[in-house]
Amino acid sequence: MTIHREGYNSIGIATLIFGLLNVSIIYFFSASLLWLCIAVLLISLLLLLFIVSFFRIPARISTIGEQLLVSPCDGKVVVIEETVDEEYFKAKRLQISIFMSPANVHVNLNPLSGEVVYNKYHKGKYLVAWNPKSSTENERHSVVIKKNNTEVLVKQIAGAVAKRIINYLHVGDEVEQGAEMGFIKFGSRVDLILPLGTKVNVKLNEVVQGGVSVIATI
């Protein structure tokens, strides 16, 4: 397991606060309120470990396949339905949404190899990520990857807690399946907008792993 580069500053600040807080508590209260010092130490240590774990990148064997669409993130499948995409396709498509809790790994991966033909950031609201309107009203970053004649729209969507979406791709980039696409800090969701008739390999409420689980066959 390694730590994602997006976490270096957050972990550094959290570690500094952890150290200053506990040194101060011990200095002022260790003689009279030892139980308070121990409680603060344990609670702050748990919070620090949580922040470190949030930016973890576990060692995994990626799933690679010409016709496979792998999960762009860790999480739970919360939507599998037909929808009308108003942003790019302007037509009916199949939507699959994956909800990421704060406990999930939050690096986002390319679900397929191909060329980036569309990339756009949208300002928006911060509705809870499981709200159906979050796909179109929340802050989000949309990317379309084209492989042969198939185009897949991937939306990184901010939630009530997640306030920062990071995307590394640019129009014209040739990307590889399973490589990093971006990062969303502190819980949210990722939507996949697929052609109608796509064979879906997951079910509602199924837990998936980024870069490993096969979402669909294209």
Give the catalytic positions in this structure: 188
Closest CA to 104 of 197, 30, 209, 215: 209
CA 114 from chain centre, in angstroms, equals 20
| Nearest residue to 69 (alpha-carbon basis) of 36, 15, 109, 107 | 109
Q: How far apart are the first and last CA of the chain?
A: 31
